[in-house]
Structure 1
Amino acid sequence: MEKQYDLIVIGTGSAGAGVAIACSKEDWKVAIIDSRAYGGTCALRGCDPKKVLVGAAEIIDWNERMRGKGVQDQPTINWADLMAFKETFVEDIPPAHEQKLKDAGVETFHGFASFINEDTVQVGDDQLKGKHILIATGAKPAPLSIEGEQYLGNSDDFLSLEQLPSTIVFVGGGYISMEFAHIAVRAGAEVHIIHHGEQPLSHFDPDLVDELMKRSREVGIQFHLNTEIQAIKQTAEHQYSVQAVQKSNEQEKSVQIECGLVIHGAGRVPNIDKLGLDQANIDSEKQGITVNEYLQSTSNPRVYAAGDVAATKGLPLTPIAGMESQAVRANLLQHNVQIPNYKVMPSIVFTIPKLASVGMTVEEAQKLGDHIKINDMDTSSWYTYKRTNEKHARIKVIIDTQARRVLGAHILSGEADDLINHFATAIQFDLDIDEWKKTIYGYPTAMSDLSYFLEE
């Protein structure tokens, strides 16, 4: 049965649902489709539930740092109780999310969507024909093409573990591996990270990553760098042998780790392979669906794409998906009037301590000339961090001394997630350093250190 719509949205996460509701409120006939529970990755199986687990790990770390300094008893994590608490943040989202869409007049569908021509999508027995179509299907773990790949778990699996295995191997050195490793090790697991490069978190400041790795090793995380995973073999029920090769100085060394879980943290790719893009004349590339500056398909103008599935300048982050969603709704309703603004994209790794970045890197800034100043400060002895015995805290602030502007900031500390947002604001609105310094911040707080960060 064919049904006609003004707009069909594929995906109910940060990039899709808002567009569906906004267009429906303008009396468009709108349909939305998802093959999974309504709500998207961030709310159900990503950022939000992850940070609930991070909170418990931070309590463990805080107590450990303060032992002998007024704190005596060290708590432990009850994994089952923690997961039950995490579930309270997730369980109500799918029905509430779907009801919100229905209340806005959006017709909801469950199932896999695939194009059968340039304007028609098949979902189960239904054929949906749309004047416009938004693809917002996000990303999924990248295929690794290794023996035993079927034994790889992913972030969804980690966030739904009923019991924490005694030993866990994370494949890859990105956000997922590093964040989950810091949770798991503080919950009592033996943790290994296998990474093909010389350093994890390649998009962050290498000096700060080095410092984070020092702390990671102190708490028990074991790194296997310059190491390529070769195979995963099941040795018993819920028991695996991970086989890898470590390359160093043109020599190779075999690595074998026995564990109860192997988690894929080696990157994600656009979730487009089952959409039948060829049937709809939708061009794509490695980064995702090929779009113009208005997030419109370059080959099929009926189609737009937003979030991790679109090939744009944006980082694969929830706020970027949300920003692109706002642009798409404007471009649909007013015909291509808004170009997404990627000027500021703060990025945070919720390890313990946290690592955050916004704006230019040091390497980029140093190419601009002598008027660029890099304030590189070890802040571990500052009051803000000394009071909780945080021995790994550092900040780099990139200043244009002529334009009187901050160009970038890179922070490692327990306060990094909040601090980076202040720098994001300064960069977004080109705040004059001298004017910014006049702001009075509450004391003693992490932000009350600002004037020292901006010293020349």
Structure 2
Amino acid sequence: MPYDFDLFVIGGGSAGVRCGRIAAGHGARVAVAEERFWGGTCVNVGCVPKKIMVNAAEYGAWMEDAAAFGWPHHRHQAHDWAKLAAARDTEVTRLSGIYGKLLAGAGVTSFDARATFVDPHTLDVGGKRVTAERIVIAVGGTPTRLPIPGAELGLISDDLFTLKALPKRAIVIGGGYIAVEFACILRGLGAEVDLIYRAPLPLRGFDEDVRAAAAEALAAQGIRLNPDVAPTRIAKVGDHLMVSKSDNFMREADAVFFCTGREPNTAGLGLDKAGLDVRPGTGIPVDDEHRTAVPHIYAIGDVIDRVNLTPMATAVGHALADTLFGKNPRKASYENVPTAVFMSPPIATVGLTEAEAAARGPVDIYVTRFTPMRHTISKREGRRTLMKLVVCQNTQKILGAHMLGEDSAEIMQGIGIAVGMGATKQDFDRTIGIHPTAAEEFVTLRTRTRVAGVQAAAQ
């Protein structure tokens, strides 16, 4: 039977737009539907507005640093939240509009509407029925709240970008990257901040040395850490909120943020009508080709809950379009994906943690900690840098690189190329460092800190 489109993409975020645009460039008849905002979470309520607010928080600290370098300190007034919000929203609107223009320029049909399945090849798009030979689900994820009494009184991560004013006292619940980023943003802009998380250290899944250094950095900037506890209740008391914790203590705040994870946004898509058995809030199972249990339906990005990063989703969308319509079958690798946490100071990492690498065999560990040059002058606390290499003892390949410190994300992008190419410790050693920089430490680490994973190799 003839179809209205060769490809229909549900979701106009990074993954969906890239997949649709590249497929159209290969000559396919493509449509993309987006019910909320073009560009998805990253552009509108994620990476982009968050990074703008991270920059804003950092500027305040830099003004304080400047006095040590001979510049007069003029930070006598409170931060202008409204001015920041206006500038942020203008940039978000500009970038969101670019996504629509990219699709139009590629000849893609765009629908500003919700798309749900009617049957495996038919979709209801804002009340109109359309058919497609292939369908890609790229609807991303959605923030979650903890199931505790009073949870409705708390905010989710999206809500930071609609606040009309900075809360004077904020509680951030969670220990992941969104939680620590939000804690640093709010603290850097002038709020009192409590960070509540269930583990001994924040950032579960990151390297242990990095986690410990992150906790030190958070505490040094005045964020009150509440480890090994969980919130049990939120109550409205007068004009403020009271959060009860599992350690039988309570914290008072003007705003409470749930940064407790995201879940795949599968609810209400009518997946059962497409022949897919997926529980709401869970990732859609796919094979290595990102094909679901229904062969002509694919799923990419955060909705499959693999590596939930915008560049990863974009790469997968591009590879899928090339495979389906470009006569160039290929995959985007989920291995050695560089990533960053834009806390203060930021974290960047690529490859295996020490624990992951040690489970595979013996590894050499190189670690250095130092105060970067700027802060030997400014004396600002909590700005120490940590850099770490995890090296396979047998092959001397760099298995992981980790950094907490200023410019870490910019530095790690280049390190990610080297790790992905299989660079060895000797390759790093013979590279000439750029002096004076923090980055040069990655190529001047000569003294092994410790060996790990010997027992794993013996087994």
8 Å contact kept, 2:144–2:156: no
User: Which whole-Å CA distance do the structure 2 matches of 1:408 and 1:454 have between them?
Assistant: 16
SS in 1 for 2:73: coil
Letter in 1 for 2:349: S
1:416 equivalent among 408, 419, 434: 408
Inter-CA distance 45–149: structure 2 relative to 1 (3 Å threshold): same
Name the structure 1 match of 2:73.
Answer: 73
Letter in 2 for 1:292: D
Name the structure 2 match of 1:365.
Answer: 357
Residue 346 of structure 1 pairs with residue 345 of structure 2: no
Name the structure 1 match of 2:85.
Answer: 83
Offset, 1:99: 2.9
Offset, 1:227: 2.0
User: Which whole-Å CA distance do the structure 2 matches of 1:351 and 1:309 have between them?
Assistant: 25
Residue 386 of structure 1 pairs with residue 376 of structure 2: yes
SS in 2 for 1:363: helix
Offset, 1:66: 5.5
Residues 207-255 of structure 1: per-residue CA shift (max 9 Å, x gap): 3222222221222211222222222233456x32222322xxxxxx2x3
Name the structure 2 match of 1:186.
Answer: 188
Give TM-score scaled by structure 2 length.
0.89
Residues 112-140 of structure 1: per-residue CA shift (max 9 Å, x gap): 22212112121221112111111111111
Where do residues 149-228 of structure 1 align in structure 2 (5 Å cutoff)? 149-228=151-230
Where do residues 268-417 of structure 1 align in structure 2 (5 Å cutoff)? 268-284=262-278, 288-297=283-292, 299-312=293-306, 315-333=307-325, 337-370=329-362, 372-380=363-371, 383=373, 386=376, 389=379, 391-417=383-409
Query: Quick one: percent identity of the two aligned structures?
Result: 30
Give TM-score scaled by structure 1 length.
0.90
User: Which whole-Å CA distance do the structure 2 matches of 1:303 and 1:454 have between them?
Assistant: 51
Name the structure 2 match of 1:138.
Answer: 140
User: Which whole-Å CA distance do the structure 1 matches of 2:149 and 2:328 have between them?
Assistant: 46
User: Which whole-Å CA distance do the structure 2 matches of 1:213 and 1:424 have between them?
Assistant: 25
Residues 70-118 of structure 1: per-residue CA shift (max 9 Å, x gap): 4541535321112222123112233332233123221111222221211
Residues 298-325 of structure 1: per-residue CA shift (max 9 Å, x gap): x11111111111144xx21111111111
User: Which whole-Å CA distance do the structure 1 matches of 2:295 and 2:244 have between them?
Assistant: 47
Offset, 1:347: 1.9
Q: Which has the higher strand share?
A: 1
Inter-CA distance 396–263: structure 2 relative to 1 (3 Å threshold): same
SS in 2 for 1:445: coil
Residues 330-365 of structure 1: per-residue CA shift (max 9 Å, x gap): 222157922331121112111111122211111122
User: Which whole-Å CA distance do the structure 1 matches of 2:224 and 2:242 have between them?
Assistant: 16
SS in 2 for 1:453: coil
Offset, 1:433: 3.4
User: Which whole-Å CA distance do the structure 2 matches of 1:454 and 1:423 have between them?
Assistant: 17
Inter-CA distance 179–74: structure 2 relative to 1 (3 Å threshold): farther
Residues 370-426 of structure 1: per-residue CA shift (max 9 Å, x gap): 4x210111122x647635546421111112344232111111111221222232111
User: Which whole-Å CA distance do the structure 2 matches of 1:173 and 1:195 have between them?
Assistant: 5
Name the structure 2 match of 1:452.
Answer: 444
8 Å contact kept, 1:384–1:446: no
SS in 2 for 1:116: strand
Count of matched residue positions in the alignment of Structure 1 and Structure 2: 442
Inter-CA distance 368–100: structure 2 relative to 1 (3 Å threshold): closer
**Aligned residues: CA RMSD:** 2.4
Residue 98 of structure 1 pairs with residue 92 of structure 2: no
8 Å contact kept, 1:397–1:454: no
5+ unaligned residues in a row in structure 1: which ranges?
A: 247-252
SS in 1 for 2:444: helix
1:261 equivalent among 235, 252, 255: 255
